[in-house]
């Protein structure tokens, strides 16, 4: 599945991933390849990105950080204050604050 994380300042992440876990307003949920279409609001928390390789480490430009999870360098985490997601046609777009 293709994941793009966008903030008001910049595109924070854009790549193919295995799965993504997000902090939904009713609890955390995870999306895998070919997930049904979803639109949801996110609350403050951590987005976990499960990747194929560590080559996805990207930025620390505008005070945002994508860092490898301590237990497994194929899991990246992004902390957010709030956001919105749309999953459609195997593409997940996260608009994050």
The per-residue pLDDT for 52 is 72
- 8 A C-beta contact, residue 8 and residue 60: no
Low-confidence ranges of the chain (pLDDT < 70): 53-73
Give the pLDDT score at 53. 57
pTM over 0.85: no
Give the position of tokens 């046609």. 89
Q: Which pLDDT score is estimated for 69?
A: 47
Parse the chain into domains and list their residue ranges. Answer: 2-96
CA dihedral of residues 6, 42, 72, 5 (deg, nearest 10):
-10
CA distance 66 to 36: 26
Which class in CATH covers the domain with range 2-96?
Answer: mainly beta
pLDDT tens digits along 55-75? 544 444 444 555 554 445 678
């Amino acid at each position: 599945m293709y994941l793009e994380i966008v903030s008001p300042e910049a595109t924070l992440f854009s790549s193919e991933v295995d799965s993504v876990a997000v902090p939904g307003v009713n609890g955390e949920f995870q999306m895998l390849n070919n997930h049904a279409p979803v639109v949801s609001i996110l609350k403050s928390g951590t987005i976990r990105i499960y990747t194929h390789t560590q080559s996805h480490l990207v930025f620390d430009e505008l005070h945002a950080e994508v860092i490898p999870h301590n237990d497994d360098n194929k899991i990246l985490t992004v902390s957010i204050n709030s956001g919105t997601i749309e999953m459609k046609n195997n593409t997940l777009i996260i608009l994050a604050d």
